[in-house]
Each structure stands twice: as structure tokens, then as C-alpha cells.
């Protein structure tokens, strides 16, 4: 790591008596893909919203380029070059690609009452920026809803890069995509990294994170359970940490106990679960 673009030091967040994050520390390196992994309820969404300025943190420090910051809104984060692409992408399906690309930040031409949307510049810019991401579009006037899920994700990424993002936070970008389209998005994640951006990839899928990630932070119930660089962590170990081997063993024993009451289906499920746990154990493959 050549230096931390973003850094959290002992950050905690509470919602009343509910502890969403507790003493979370992590670094996001310049020009790296940092993967934040965790199951549902691990604290990933809360962490995203702190990084992007939606939520204030209650304790700890948040540093950008080594300087402590307190973000009051997502606009503050954008001002520092921190852009977030959420699962819903903030796109309008029936509007054209170029209108979606500049939605809320339209380029203009002319002055005073004659100032108007510079449509020609918008269309040229969209084609150029998507071409840099490797997306060949037929017509910039086509509704963005006609693009594939992977292409829409990649368009949202290209938009964030164009508007000056240095840090790109991607919220579960492959969650609703098939295998092929997920591969397309991951390719563009690597391209963003190769253009010098720091990328934070939020996911619960280790098979999507490991091929593109340089750094892995595993969250569980609001706490950091592991923080590794790629050369310190094998995919099998990452899968084991994500799967929660101890939790699966407890479930297996519960199913076995229930199966003793004569439930053949539960007994078969317990047997299958035991086989999966054995596959997750180090040295099993």
C-alpha cells in the first residue's frame, strides 16, 4: 500500500441501544480494491453511509488523506472525491443514457435567459466516457433501461469517475446480476483501479471479491473479524470466515437433535451440512 486514501480508527455507531458498528478500524489504499465482506446484518450498509457522509459516526476518527474529517452530508463526501454507487444506481430507466449520465449536473451553453442544456456536449461526453470503460453503445438516445444490468452498473461507475471521484464505493454491485453480467461489472472495477481510483467493493460474495480484491475486511455483527491483504489470505480461508464454520456446526447439531424425533428430511439436511463443513475445514481440499 502506497498510502491510505481513507482510514477509519476505532469508529463506532449506535442507533439508540443498538450497536451497529463497534471499534471498526480499516484503511483504503490508493489505487487498490478494498473489499468489505459480511453477511446480512454485519454492518456493511452502516459503514457505507458513514464513509459517504449519510451518517455521522459516534466515536473514533475518520481520515481522508491523513486529515480528520466530519462529513455533514453526501455532498461533503463528493467534494472530497468520494462517490458512492448504490444498488438502485439512482438511474431513471425511461430516460436516455446521456440524460441519466448528467442528471442533476447538466452542462450548459449560453448566458442568462439563453442558457440551455448543451445536448451535443452531453452526448459526445457520454460516448467517450463509456468507451473508456469498454462499453460500446449503439445510440446515446436509447433508454438506459434497455441496457443490461452490468452495463447500467458500469454506466453509473463511469459517471462517478467523470465527475471527479478518487474513491469509488460500490454497494453490492453484483448482487442482482447473473454470472456473465457480474463478470462484466468486475472487469470495470479493475479498470477503475487501473485508472488510479481507490475502490471499495461491498459484497457478501467471496467468489466475486477475491479475483479483483487487493485487501479484504470481514465484518461480523458490527465488528472487524479479519483484515488481510491478498497475499495473506487464500480463497478457501475467506470462504470459511464468511460461511461461519462454528455457526454451521451449531445448526448441524440442532438439526441432528430434531431429526432424532423421526424426521428423515432433517437427518438428510444435517448430513449434507456436515459434508459442507468438512469441505470448509483447512486442509480438506
Mean pLDDT, residues 143-168? 87
Average pLDDT over residues 213-217: 94
Say whether both 178 and 266 belong to one domain. Answer: no
Over residues 38-89, the pLDDT tens digits come to 888 889 989 999 999 999 999 999 999 999 999 999 999 989 999 998 876 6
pTM: 0.78
Question: 139 and 42 in one domain?
Answer: yes
pLDDT for residue 137 is more than 90: no
- β strands within 159-240, DSSP E: 167-171, 198-203, 215-220, 223-229
Range(s) of the domain holding residue 270: 246-280
In a domain, 67, yes or no: no
CATH code where residue 157 lies: 3.40.50.300
119, three cell numbers? 445536448
Amino acid at each position: 500500500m502506497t498510502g491510505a486514501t481513507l482510514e477509519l480508527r476505532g469508529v463506532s455507531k449506535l442507533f439508540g441501544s443498538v450497536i451497529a458498528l463497534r471499534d471498526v478500524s480499516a484503511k483504503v489504499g490508493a489505487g487498490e480494491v478494498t473489499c468489505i465482506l459480511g453477511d446480512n446484518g454485519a454492518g456493511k450498509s452502516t459503514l457505507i453511509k458513514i464513509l459517504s457522509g449519510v451518517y455521522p459516526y459516534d466515536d473514533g476518527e475518520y481520515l481522508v488523506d491523513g486529515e480528520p474529517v466530519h462529513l455533514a452530508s453526501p455532498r461533503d463526501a463528493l467534494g472530497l472525491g468520494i462517490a458512492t454507487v448504490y444498488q438502485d444506481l439512482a438511474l431513471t430507466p425511461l430516460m436516455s443514457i446521456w440524460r441519466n449520465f448528467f442528471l442533476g449536473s447538466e452542462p450548459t451553453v449560453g448566458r442568462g435567459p439563453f442558457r440551455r442544456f448543451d445536448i451535443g456536449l452531453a452526448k459526445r461526453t457520454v460516448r467517450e466516457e463509456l468507451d473508456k470503460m469498454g462499453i460500446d453503445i449503439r445510440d446515446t438516445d436509447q433508454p438506459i433501461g434497455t441496457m443490461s444490468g452490468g452495463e447500467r452498473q458500469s454506466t453509473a461507475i463511469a459517471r462517478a469517475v467523470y465527475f471527479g471521484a478518487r474513491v469509488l464505493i460500490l454497494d453490492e454491485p453484483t448482487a442482482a446480476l447473473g454470472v456473465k453480467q457480474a463478470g462484466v461489472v468486475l472487469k470495470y472495477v479493475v479498470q477503475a483501479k487501473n485508472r488510479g481510483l481507490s475502490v471499495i467493493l461491498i459484497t457478501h460474495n467471496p467468489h466475486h471479491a477475491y479475483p479483483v480484491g487487493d485487501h479484504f475486511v470481514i465484518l461480523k455483527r458490527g465488528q472487524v473479524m479479519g483484515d488481510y491483504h491478498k497475499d495473506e489470505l487464500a480463497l478457501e480461508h475467506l470462504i470459511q470466515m464468511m460461511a461461519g464454520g462454528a455457526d454451521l456446526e451449531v445448526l448441524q447439531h440442532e438439526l441432528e437433535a430434531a431429526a432424532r424425533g423421526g424426521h428423515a428430511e432433517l437427518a438428510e439436511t444435517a448430513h449434507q451440512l456436515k459434508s459442507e463443513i468438512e469441505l470448509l475445514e483447512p486442509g480438506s481440499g
